[in-house]
Amino acid sequence: MPNFLPYALPEIGQAEIDEVIDSLKSGWVTSGPKTRRFEQEFKSFLGDANLETIAVNSATAGLHLALEALDIGPGDEVITTTLTFTATAEVVRYMGADVRLVDIDPITLNMDVNALRAAITPKTKAILPVHYGGLSCDMQAIIDVAKEFNLKVIEDAAHALPAVYEGKLIGTLDTDATVFSFYANKTMTTGEGGMVVTRNKEAAARMRIMRLHGINRDAFDRFVSETPAWYYEIVAPGFKYNMTDIAAAIGIHQLAKLNRFCERRQELAKRYLAALQDLPLTLPAAAPKNGQHAWHLFVVRITKLSDKTRDEIINHLSEAGIGTSVHYLPLHRQPYWRDLYQLQPNDFPKANQAYETMLSLPLYTAMRNEDQDRVINALTQLFS
């Protein structure tokens, strides 16, 4: 059998390694100067001086902090898509609020705006759209609905760096907060980590306090002050969500490479789109005009013309030494969400159909053309 080709693999270079070593030698390994530097450089990358950037130890933490800062609580409802990782919804339950799941658009696999509108109740407080796979949602339509009903919008942009919607980078739109992920398989990584972006200065200040136990003074300021600065106050029962300087050290150089990473993902996606177009597969939607797909995922769906099941294809690729994944088993089919809200598969027919036919093919920046050709040839052989 040929060497195993993973579904995803981070691309870590010498610059990241050297920066981590520098952090270890400096003695400052938790939140400190490099975390601040990473936050500032992330703001510069987005190109909007009015943004506040808050580095955290996961996108899950960032979503939780955003909901808390925007005063989501018991009795409130937050609407999100069923086709997402559970973190998108679980943070709503952290706040004691309820989740309202909605179906997807069958082409983009993003939130169906008509389903969103139909799900709004007097209890609805916020919308949590997910930019699935790296393709931005129809954000203007979502923002219009939010303004009509006076709702908050928190973007789950875990897949969407650097996605572009109508000429604007995700993270710079007219929403209340955007949360990015730097998990190991994302378009850039810090190992574990995330970033919250907002123009709401009060919310940003609250998130900075809540990410470190509700302490009203930054740890870095307390420990590098020239005068004794040991005194601090706990102003809220906060969380332990701060990013470390070790993680930020990786992020600084991953961010510097992000445009190159994006270009390579675009190249790989174009090769897939060209090579697989004649197979019985529904290929992922491209970004509309004035947009950019981040291509975190390359999700194909088996059409009715195929005599193969999704699991047969996954097994065939596995036997050829090729890793795949499925994104995702929809939340309405997961035991916790299904039982809590008494959900049925036919409540979400589009997400249900997509799930039963989808698989994610390998896509990562260190993937060589010959690696991708293995995937293409294995699929072509199977369907021939």
- Rounded to the nearest 10 degrees, what angle do helices 201-210 and 59-69 cross at? 120
Question: How far is it, in rounded angstroms, from Cα 161 to Cα 178?
Answer: 11
Alpha carbon 214 to chain centroid distance? 26
Q: Check: CB of residue 65 under 8 Å from CB of residue 113.
A: no
Instruction: For residue 257, give every residue at least 6 positions away whose Cβ sits within 8 Å of its Cβ, in sequence order, or none.
Output: 11, 13, 188
Q: Is 186 a catalytic site residue?
A: yes
CA dist., res. 327 & res. 325, Å (int):
7
Half-sphere exposure of 226 (CA within 13 A, CB side): 0
Coil, strand or helix: which one is 292? Answer: strand
Give the torsion through C-alpha atoms of 244, 245, 251, 255, to 10 deg.
130
Per-residue CA distances from 306 to 275, 357, 379, 384 (Å):
17, 10, 12, 10
How many angstroms separate the CA atoms of 323 and 302, rounded? 17
3-state SS assignment for residue 358: strand
Provide the CB-side half-sphere exposure for 237 (13 A, CA).
Answer: 1
- The two structure tokens encoding residue 180: 């990015």
Place of tokens 């389903």: 115
Local structure of 22: helix, strand or coil: helix
Burial of 237 (0-12, 13-18, 19+ CB in 10 A): exposed
Question: Could you tell me which residues come within 8 angstroms of residue 334 by beta carbon, excluding any fewer than 6 positions away?
Answer: 86
200 and 218 in contact (C-beta within 8 Å)? Answer: no
What's phi and psi for 201, nearest 5 deg? -65, -35
Please tell me which residue in 186, 201, 270, 304 is annotated as part of the active site.
186
Please give the positions annotated as active site: 186
